[in-house]
Structure formats: structure tokens, C-alpha cells
Amino acid sequence: MNTQIKFTTPEEAVKVIKSGDHVHLSSVASAPQCLINAMCKRGEAGELKDVHVHHLHTEGPAPYADPKFEGVFQLDSFFVGSNVRKVTQSGYADYIPIFLSETQRLYRCGAVPCNVAMIQVCPPDKHGYVSLGTSVDATLAAVECADYVIAVVNKHVPRSFGQAMIPMSKIDLFVEDDTPLMEAHFSEPNEVETAIGKHCAALIEDGATLQMGIGAIPNAVLAQLGGHKNLGIHTEMFADGVLPLVEKGVINGEAKKTDPGKMVSTFLMGSQKVYDFIDDNPGVLMMDVGYTNDPYIISQNDRMTAINSALQVDLTGQVCADSLGTKFWSGVGGQIDFVYGASLSKGGKAIIAMPSITNKGVSKIAPVLTAGAGVVTTRNHIHWFVTENGAVDLYGKTLQERARLIISVAHPSAQEELDRAAFERFGEHHHYVKKYMSEN
């Protein structure tokens, strides 16, 4: 098949964007910066107004969110990353609260229009297929629904498999740019994170399928799994921490019920090593987020173990992972998709893990959540809760029992105050209070 491409310039390609359009950007490392810059130049020239921009977390600059583009570009993101958090807090951008699993459905059901999808792909193969590389998530749905698809063909985009592979016929305009993908590097776990990692690792059984995202705590957990056997990966994202376990044969997917022997993800963020790892690797399936984050599909894997972080937890088990205070938003992400899916799995474990205090010494376990805090995992969904001080199972426990268990893994400096708060909250006739009074 002839796969010769007729390229155009970024400036020419973005001329298909009209005032009032909705534009989707591919996520994380695959944000198409050359198209973003060309679109913003049109905005600066006064050629556009009221253009809505949508994306999940993106790495790199986000110039369309600059306050100077008020009335020109309106960012309505599905997840608020660090590069657009300040402008979102200040009101120059907004976000659409949505479970990660449903971001693709926003386009497919028409709740959010998609006029133009701007993506990055690898060079075409001999059959005329390109790959979405590190960003399938809601991008595949955007490609399916958009009036125009503009693709940056980039030799640095890995040729990943699964639902990442799309025919060139789905693309209307091609631009060439070989800028390397954005990389993300994570620091080594500190003492607290290592302790959390050990407590989480103790809950993971051989043959488990894992979801644990990216960051210090996931890396700390992965670092403790060298002695495990036959682990699998079904997650919304992964990073460098999985690579040593794949090399050792610890992660092999042999016990998985869905996609046995395969690692499944919907987007990636990490170093070049991760991008090289998925390139031409049939052992990794990059899938639509409607598949990776479907609780039913997640639950089909026995011993599904989901490890997610939190910003704050209250004495009843309400989990805030979205906001603290009235002017902070990030987004729900995939936490509840996997908490629910793991809870339904045979032998599954849903784990919320966090340090017990902030870097400033403030307890992250609170009598009640901070005003304005967004509840992501409700007290009805939480099972295992882990801090550096231990792991407690809250499933099936009363509010009073939960309070005692949660306080038991709080930072020692906060336990007395939390005890008093529980005493005041539950009232003098509650069993917790009677036990508290007898002990004090």
C-alpha cells in the first residue's frame, strides 16, 4: 500500500478551526505543541473567538489557557494538570467533572462536541496504519467524532498496539514534526513513601493484577514487589517503575483473565525508556479509556488490586482526591473506576494510600473534610486505607469502628486531637466514646 503522505504546515492545518469550535488535544506526552502554537498565533491575530479546548492532563506549555486569550480560547479540561491549575483556580479556565472512564463517552454521546481533533502519531506502516502512541484515552473517541483530524507525524511517537492503531484514512491533514516527546522523571521515594510502599506490597498477592498510576507512592510500591510472582497490569497509566519488574519476570500477566500476558494501559507518562519499551511491543496494549477503566472489565481479573492516592481522608472514610478548599480543582481521574472494579473482583483489594501528614506537619486525616473539598471515593466505597503507620481494612466497619481504625494509622502527633474530635462527633452514648472514656 502506498503510504506516502502529503504534508502541510501547522499554520495551514489549523485554518480548519472556526470560531465557536470545540478542539480536542491528545494527552500527556503527546500534546501536539506545533499545532497548539499555530492555533494560538491565529488567536493572537484576532482570527478566532470562543474556541473551546478540551484535554486530559497534558505535559508542556498550555498557551491557550493564558488570561490574554480570554474570549478567544476557553479551556474546559477533563482533568486539571499542573500546567493549567493556576489559571483554572483564577477562573480563566474551567473543567468538566467526569469519571475518567466516561471522558470518551462525552464525545461519543454528543454531550461535548468535537469539531477538530489535534493529535500526534507515529509514521505509517506499510499497511497504511499509524499509532496514537502514548495517548489513546479519549483521543480515539475524538478521532472518531471530529469533523477534522489533524495529525502530527512524529518519528519519536512509539508504535504502540491495541486500539492505538488507526488507519490513515481517519486523518484529514498531516503535519510533520520530529520534536521529542515530553518526558516526566520522578524522584526516589523518601522514608515515608517507602513505608507506605511496604504496607501496600504486603497486601498484594501473587497473581494479582495491578493498577497504581504514577508518582512517588506507586514507585515505592513497585520497588517492594521484586519477590512477587505472576503479576499483571491493567491500569489507566504506568511509568518507569514497572520496567524492572517486567525485566525480572515478576510482571508477566500470566494470571490475568482479560488480555492474559498483556499489559493494558490508556496513556503513559515517563522517561524515554517507557516510550522505547512500548514501541513495537505486542506485550503492551494501549486501549480506549472506556475499556481500561470500565469497572466490569476491571473486575474480571481475580485479585485485582487498585492503589490510589488521596489528599485528605476524614474519620468516616470520605476520600478527597480532587480538591482542598474552594479554589482548587484537579479532577476525579480514574480512582473510583478502579476502586469499584477492584472491589467487585474475586479476591480484589481497593487501597487508598497517603502520607499521614503534609510536608508542613498538618494531619491529612481530618475530623471532617476541608470546606470545598471534593469527595472522589465515598465512605461507601473505601476498603483498605494505608499510611506510613500501617494498613487498616474499613470494609464492613461501622462509623465508630472506622474512626478508631483510621486514627490508629494517623500521625502520632495528631491522634489525641482526632480522638477528641471523634468524642465530640459521635456523642456520649456511642460505643466509641465509651471506650475512649474508659481508656482515658
Query: 428: buried, middle or exposed (CB in 10 Å: 19+, 13-18, 0-12)?
Result: exposed
DSSP 207-248: T-EEE--SSHHHHHHHTT-TT--SBEEB-SEE-GGGHHHHHH
Task: Please give the torsion angle defined by the CA atoms of residues 25, 28, 32 and 38, in that order, rounded to the nearest 10 degrees.
Answer: 70
Helices (H), 345-411: 399-408
Asked if 154 contacts 121 with a C-beta cutoff of 8 angstroms, the reply is: yes
* Closest among 402, 408, 363, 356 to 383, alpha carbons compared: 402
Q: Which residues pair with 308 in a beta bridge?
A: 352
* Closest among 125, 127, 126, 137 to 162, alpha carbons compared: 137
d(CA 388, CA 231): 24
Q: 101: which DSSP letter?
A: G
Helices (H), 75-164: 85-90, 103-108, 139-145
Q: Which residues pair with 23 in a beta bridge?
A: 53, 116
102 tagged catalytic: no
State the catalytic residue, choosing from 70, 236, 424, 439: 236
DSSP 309-356: E-SEEETT--EEEEESSTT-----TTHHHHHHHHHHSTT-EEEEE--S
Collapsing DSSP states into helix, strand and coil, what is residue 161?
strand
Q: Which active-site residues does the annotation give?
A: 236
